[in-house]
Amino acid sequence: MSVAVCYAPAGRKGPTTMTSNVIQPVGIRQVAVIGLGLMGSGIAELVARSGRRVDAIEVDQGFLDQGMARLHASLDRAVSRGKLTDAARDEILARIRPTVDLAAAVADADLVIEAIPERIDLKRTLFAQLDEVCRANAILATNTSSLSITEIAGGTRYPARVAGLHFFNPAPVMKLVEVISTVLTSPEIDETLALLSRDLGKTPIRVSDRAGFIVNALLVPYLNHAIWLLETAQATREDIDKAATAGLGLPMGPLTLLDLIGLDTALAVLETLQAEFGGTRYVPAPLLRKLCDARLFGRKSGRGFYDYQRPGSPAAAGKDHEVGPVPAEVALIREQDDSLGELAGRITAAGISVVPHPSGQTGLVIVAADPKQRVLDAAMATAHPADVVGVHFIRAGNFIRAGNGEPGLAELVLPDVTAAGMAAKAAALAARIGLNAVISRDRPGFLVEALAYAQFNDAVRMFQDGYASPADIDTAMMLGCGYPHGPLQMLDDAGPANVVSVLEAMHAATGDPAYTPVPLLAEYATAGIRFRS
């Protein structure tokens, strides 16, 4: 049975006697979507696909036409891919009523979803207006990514009916919806929005109002960390991106993803996180601010970390590395660590001679690199430190669970003592023997573990704070960001004790408290407890 509840005090129009206070999804028939931009057009499409009537509202006819054109294009794409028939597309479109008349459009809405720009002043003004013109039992939801929903609700007279409904881009495709309740939101509203999300084919995760919710609080600091790595010359932009895709199995590298999300959006989220949590983890990388000041916002402005008008052009920041001549003889120091065993076979098979100790003929000296330790120390222990490159394998099975232990990625690590030109030789060797390689400076964690473990630490902190369960954290990152496995599952696979050691080394090397293992991680590591098993 469909029921409704009045969130206004007695006296306002609307039903007040209920058998249950939870409005079932079938009770939400008329939905108003405000703001037909990137998100709003996708949300309007999604809701109309579910058979509901949608009022799609914009500020003026120009924006309305743009939004409807985006929506038409999305449905046309679905038709051309055979996922929708012409007739179904026409039925969906017939359920959508584009308009610029806000008051008239929201008057009969059961649910209003706001998707206007991420500015608290705009949202508060709009919600105060909605409070006046909506029915007393209408639910008011915001799609904000990072603003305080409590603050948005605070501008209304009936904050109990205000909640967050955070879709991911593109809304018709991405399976996650974060349903966010404030301390003032009625529990029934929260329940109704979760049921509705399921009815729309999504997986809802219910959380309270906190900066960044689950996904952005974990994703955006990781993206910012990638910018710090670029800015401090740890690696090239391509190698930072490759570390995430080939090393962690993520669908996109962090710098490419930043260009897609928009650098200005990422900066705004970081500033919100910084204001709420403080500390060093959320301090925006100076390069992020500079690119934003230069209006290099990413794809939407044609250039960010990459140049979309001149693909393949040099990085706006950081250096590209060169590929040099393949050395004729390689010394492979395997005394302390035999992780390089199979490397010898590959190099020999490529017709390059391998010796156990460097001589005057040796073009390159390879040592095993451990993300917890400096390669520099191993280099100084050889007679030829300037010729040393460390190699660290990220194997299929380390983070990407399916796999047979084959090296998926080799991190070629350069201590500062290594001579110029060695990176180019190591890159040439890797290419010759068919290794997928990235080049990293000799800093703890190198690239893959530095990026991943700092995020795992954030994920444990979120669980430690009681904000979300390990299962919800992992589901949110898988469905919201396309992770093959959640961060806590990956942490379990990497081993909590190992993660703690690398984080401690990162902390010792940088002095940055952001890398201190959170107490719960240290406890789990000591006790041998896993987060997901």
Alpha carbon of 491 to those of 28, 446, 496: distances in Å?
41, 17, 6
Only one of the segments 113-121, 190-198, 227-235, 360-368 lies at the binding site for ligand NAD (rule: CB under 6 A); that segment is 113-121
Q: Is 154 in the site for ligand NAD (CB under 6 A)?
A: no
Q: Is 38 in the site for ligand NAD (CB under 6 A)?
A: yes
Among 11, 17, 19, 117, binds ligand NAD (CB under 6 A): 117
How far is residue 298's CA from residue 319's CA, in Å, rounded to a whole number? 19
Per the annotation, the verdict on 485 as an active-site residue is no
Nearer to ligand NAD, 145 or 501 (CB): 145
Q: Is 116 in the site for ligand NAD (CB under 6 A)?
A: yes
How far is residue 221's CA from residue 270's CA, in Å, rounded to a whole number? 7
Nearer to ligand NAD, 62 or 345 (CB): 62
Among 21, 50, 99, 169, binds ligand NAD (CB under 6 A): 169
Q: Is 365 in the site for ligand NAD (CB under 6 A)?
A: no
Nearer to ligand NAD, 8 or 38 (CB): 38
Compute the least distance from the CB of residue 125 to ligand NAD, in Å: 8
How far is residue 340's CA from residue 391's CA, in Å, rounded to a whole number? 8
Q: Is 348 in the site for ligand NAD (CB under 6 A)?
A: no
Only one of the segments 118-126, 251-259, 383-391, 444-452 lies at the binding site for ligand NAD (rule: CB under 6 A); that segment is 118-126
Q: Which residues fall within 8 angstroms of residue 197, CB to CB, at 6 or more apart?
A: 165, 177, 179, 203, 204
Among 31, 34, 439, 459, binds ligand NAD (CB under 6 A): 34
Which residue's Cβ lies closest to ligand NAD? 37
Nearer to ligand NAD, 124 or 372 (CB): 124
Query: What are the start-end ranges of the E strands in 27-95?
Result: 30-34, 53-57
Which strands sit side by side in the sheet containing 364-368, from one edge to the other? 353-355, 329-333, 364-368, 388-395, 407-414, 437-441
Site for ligand NAD in 436-495 (CB under 6 A): none
Q: Is 35 in the site for ligand NAD (CB under 6 A)?
A: yes
> Active-site residue among 143, 145, 186, 224?
145
Among 3, 50, 63, 154, binds ligand NAD (CB under 6 A): 63
How far is residue 507's CA from residue 497's CA, in Å, rounded to a whole number? 15
Nearest to 400 by CA among 241, 247, 240: 247
How far is residue 459's CA from residue 472's CA, in Å, rounded to a whole number? 11
Q: Is 74 in the site for ligand NAD (CB under 6 A)?
A: no
Site for ligand NAD in 262-321 (CB under 6 A): none
Q: Is 216 in the site for ligand NAD (CB under 6 A)?
A: no
Contact assessment for residue 267 and residue 292, using Cβ atoms and an 8 Å cutoff: yes
> Active-site residue among 178, 188, 238, 449?
178
Q: How many CA within 13 A on the CB side of residue 208?
A: 9
Nearest to 200 by CA among 52, 40, 84, 5: 52
Residue labelled with tokens 């509901």:
52
Q: Is 84 in the site for ligand NAD (CB under 6 A)?
A: no
Q: At what angle do helices 263-277 and 254-261 cross, to 10 degrees?
A: 100
Only one of the segments 6-14, 109-117, 435-443, 463-471 lies at the binding site for ligand NAD (rule: CB under 6 A); that segment is 109-117
Per the annotation, the verdict on 145 as an active-site residue is yes
Nearest to 395 by CA among 429, 435, 424, 365: 435
Q: Is 224 in the site for ligand NAD (CB under 6 A)?
A: no
Per the annotation, the verdict on 166 as an active-site residue is yes
Q: Is 56 in the site for ligand NAD (CB under 6 A)?
A: no
Q: Is 351 in the site for ligand NAD (CB under 6 A)?
A: no
Q: Which residues fall within 8 angstroms of residue 108, CB to CB, at 6 or more apart?
A: 30, 135
> Active-site residue among 143, 166, 224, 398?
166
Contact assessment for residue 444 and residue 375, using Cβ atoms and an 8 Å cutoff: no
Active site residues: 145, 166, 178, 216
Contact residues for ligand NAD, defined by CB under 6 A: 34-40, 57-59, 63, 67, 115-118, 122, 126, 143-145, 167-169, 261
